[in-house]
Structure 1
Amino acid sequence: MIQQGTKTFRNISLALFAAGFVTFALLYSLQPLMPEISAAFDITPAHSSLTLSVSTVAMAITMLFIGTLSDALGRRFIMTASLVLSSIIAFLSAFSQGYADLLLLRVLQGVALAGLPATAMTYLSEEIEPVSLGYAMGLYISGNSIGGLAGRFISGVITDWFSWRAAIGFIGVLGLCAAVVFWLVIPPSRNFIKTSPGLTKALALLWSQCRNPRLLSLYGLGFLLMGGFVTLFNYIGFELTGAPYHLSQSLVGSLFVVYLMGTVSSTWMGRLADRYGRSHVLSITIAIILAGAICTIHPALWIKIVGLGLFAFGFFGGHSIASSWVGLVADNHKSQANALYLFFYYVGSSVSGTGGGYLYSHFGWIGIVGMIGAYAVAGFALCRFLLMGQKQQTTDTPIY
């Protein structure tokens, strides 16, 4: 197993940082552009959110099976193919002729993107020693946070100067460049064992992971964390481009600099969880998420921005802990266990991201914060259940 501090560890960290960067940049570059898309196609905010939701639900479904495909074809091949194909589809999306065409391309992009996240988590759990896994996963997720920031900021600026079509085309080209870096740097798998279980057995393996209550709790946390995160950032653009703020797309895009908080929290919280216990630190991240959401209710813009920063800090820290925990709880078939975590994670994005649009239309911003508050309460309950399960389990090494 690869140890922290070695050259191989640094190469893996760089490659997966680039991969995480591409994944979030491609997937979420349209998020700050939803007001533009809504105006361009004369659709409601909830309908504009489908440009993100259809991608995430396509990712979620594909992830259930892409792990099995990577078992047969190899982690490195699947991850590289995922980055290249999704970048090409992003470029083609810039030339979509109508709303339906854009949705179709976003579905295909979600399918293509699915190969990276589930396989990357499995690759890390196979190659990195357990005591360094939390830190390695945090570095990968920090790439997600910076990619999300870059995708949103760049798309906002290019939209103001040119158009939203030019913005997503540029992000596609950027993704191809990062895919080349990934292919050149990522080391081949050392502990990968090729298997070809077939579809029937793959479904059976997926079902077997659902019989573990601790894994189900982590899947629920993935749903809640991502659901609240996407909902907040889906509709903050509508809130800030409207009265009384009337911010430009560039300014709204620049607010996503708060994602840098995730770069810090994903690695720092991962280390704290390795040292002090995952359930305790995970509960703290949920409390930070809730505090950040409440701050966004205040009418003062600077307090809203502070709230967005707190929210991003808590989310990326919580996701880092929960995602790395799955590979440790799963006794066997980690690929399927990670795929199910990401399935619930992205289903949470799709369901909550679009459902939040109806809450926003009927109740305004307080409806969004109310939904996140309910998610936080459920998250605390799941952390409590995980802590109780941890105390009941006798282990020689306190890795949980």
Structure 2
Amino acid sequence: MIETHSAAYRRASFALALGSFLVFCNLYLFQPMLPVMTEAFSASATRVNWLLAAGTLALAITLVPWAVSSEMIGRRKVMLLSLFLLPVVGGLMLFAESLLMLSLARALMGASLAGFAAVAVAYMAEEFSPKALSLAVGGYISANSLGGIAGRLFGGFASEAWGWQGAVAGMAVISLVGAVLVARLLPAQQHFTPQRGQLRHHTKHVIRHLKQPVLWVPMLIGGINFALFVNLYTVMGFRLVAPPYHLPVSWASMIFLCYLSGTLTAKLSGSWSLRFKPLNGMVLGTTISVLGMWVAAIDSVSAMLSGLLLISSGAFFTHSLAYAWVSQKAKSAKATATALYLVHYYVGGSFGGFYLITCWQHWGWYGVLAGGSVLYLVLYALCWKLGSLSTISETSVSAASSSSSSG
């Protein structure tokens, strides 16, 4: 097993973090450009949201097929194939001449990204020691946030300088260089045996995971948490380019620097899980995030930025703990389990955008507050449910242990 502080750990954790960085750069490249795309294609905010939603939804739909494929051909092959598809699809996007064509190309990009996202944590769970896994997952998710920041900033500034086509071309070049580096650094698998020709077997694993509330409840937590987090940022982008602020897209994209607080808390989540209960951390993260949404209601740029810092801190903390929970609680087919978590995560992000953007278009930020508060209440209810399930599970294990000892 790969242990912390070893050369193999440094190589593997860096390669996985770099791959994660590239995935999220590509996934969120268009998010800061959505207000501009409404003018470019003479479309409503809800329609251009497909440029973000198509990618995340396609990613969600294809996660499980990629995960099942990795059970048969190996995690590393799937991750590298996924990364090398990014520059290819990026090149195809340059030929899109309508919003529909560009949205379809973005869906293809999402499907390409899914390969890496579906199996990276499963690779870590199989190749890393338990202690190294907790730390590596935190670092991996920190790279998610850094990639999200970089992709959005690049999209905002590059599109203003060279148009959206220039932003796409630049990201394709960056993706190609990064994919080559990951291929050179990522160690070969040592603790995985491919299982070929067992599609029905893997389908049974999907059904088995979904029948375990201790797994699908944190999956729902991840989905709703992401629906709030990513789309509160989207709505804030529309808010800042509209009156009375009238910020250019490049300046409005700077709000994504607030992701850095999430980078820090994602990393801290690994240390938290070693000392405290992960569920308590999910409740804490949700509380910090909802506080941020209400702080952002204050009509000043400084308050909005402070609110976004809190939203990022809480959301990434919750996400890291819920993601690691699913990976650790799944007793078999870990890649399928983590892929199912991400299905919920990205489906939440896709449909959450239409929900919050509709609240914004009809009732402004106070509509977003009302709609967001409903989802946060659902999050608290799910955390309470997971706590009940965890207590029941621990009681059952304790009873089984006592019975075994007495026998």
TM-score range, shorter chain: over 0.9
| Residues 1:263 and 2:263 aligned together | yes
- Alignment-mate amino acid for residue 178 of structure 2: A
Aligned to 1:30: 30
Could you report, residue by residue, the CA deviation over 1:9-67 in whole angstroms, capped at 9, with x for unpaired residues?
11111011101111111000100000111111111001111111111111111112111
Q: CA deviation at 1:377?
A: 1.4
| Residues in 2 aligned to 1:371 and 1:73: alpha-carbon distance in whole angstroms | 43
TM-score (norm 2): 0.94
1:114 is matched with which residue?
A: 114
Equivalent AA in structure 1 for residue 33 of structure 2: L
Cα contact 2:82–2:115 (8 A) shared by 1? yes
Counterpart mapping for 1:151-162 below 5 A: 151-162=151-162
Q: In structure 2, give the amino acid aligned to 1:94.
A: L
Matches of 2:179 and 2:19 in 1, distance apart?
7
Q: How far 1:270 moved relative to its partner? A: 2.2
1:245 corresponds in structure 2 to: 245
Q: What SS does the corresponding residue of 2:245 show, helix, strand or coil?
A: coil
One-letter identity of the residue aligned with 2:210: C
Retained in 2: the 8 A contact 1:92–1:169? no
Residues 57 and 328 (structure 1), Cα distance of their counterparts in 2 relative to 1, 3 Å cut = same
Partner of 1:274: 274
Q: How many residues align?
A: 396
Match of 2:2 in 1: 2
Instruction: State yes or no: 1:102 paired with 2:102.
Output: yes
Q: Which residue of 1 aligns with 2:298?
A: 298
1:177 counterpart = 2:177: yes
What CA distance in whole angstroms lies between the structure 2 residues aligned with 1:87 and 1:283? 39
Does the CA-based 8 Å contact 1:68-1:196 persist in structure 2?
no
> How far apart in 2 are the matches of 1:72 and 1:109?
23
Superposed displacement of residue 197, structure 1: 4.7
Q: Which runs of 5+ in 2 are unaligned?
A: 399-407
Aligned-partner Cα distance in 1 for 2:351–2:342:
14
> 1:112, 1:40 → 2: CA distance?
26
Percent identity over paired residues: 31
Q: Is the contact made by 1:38 and 1:48 (CA closer than 8 Å) also made in structure 2?
A: yes
Q: Tell me the amino acid that sits aligned with residue 276 of structure 1.
A: F
Given the alignment of the two structures, is residue 223 of structure 1 paired with residue 227 of structure 2, yes or no? no
- Aligned-partner Cα distance in 2 for 1:94–1:371: 36
* Bigger Rg, structure 1 or 2: 2
Instruction: State the 1:91 CA deviation.
Output: 3.3
Name the stretch that deviates more: 6-15 or 157-166: 157-166
Aligned residue for 1:97, secondary structure, equals coil
**2:94 & 2:308 partners in 1: Cα distance?**
29
Decide whether the 8 Å contact of 2:153 with 2:253 is kept in 1: yes
Residue 7 of structure 2 aligns with an amino acid whose one-letter code is K
In structure 1, the partner of 2:402 is none
CA–CA distance in structure 2, aligned partners of residues 168 and 370 of structure 1: 36
Native 8 Å contact 2:48 2:99 kept in 1: no
Distance in 1 between the 2:269 and 2:292 partners? 17
- Superposed, 1:26-175 pairs within 5 Å as 26-175=26-175
Q: Deviations for 1:119-141, whole angstroms, at most 9, x for unmatched residues?
A: 10111111122233221101011
Structure 1 equivalent of residue 342 of structure 2 = 342
Please tell me whether the aligned partners of residues 3 and 129 of structure 2 are also in contact (alpha carbons under 8 angstroms): yes
Offset at residue 187 of structure 1 (A): 0.7
Q: What is the rounded CA distance, in whole Å, between the counterparts of 1:80 and 1:54 in structure 2?
A: 23
- Is 1:367 paired with 2:356? no
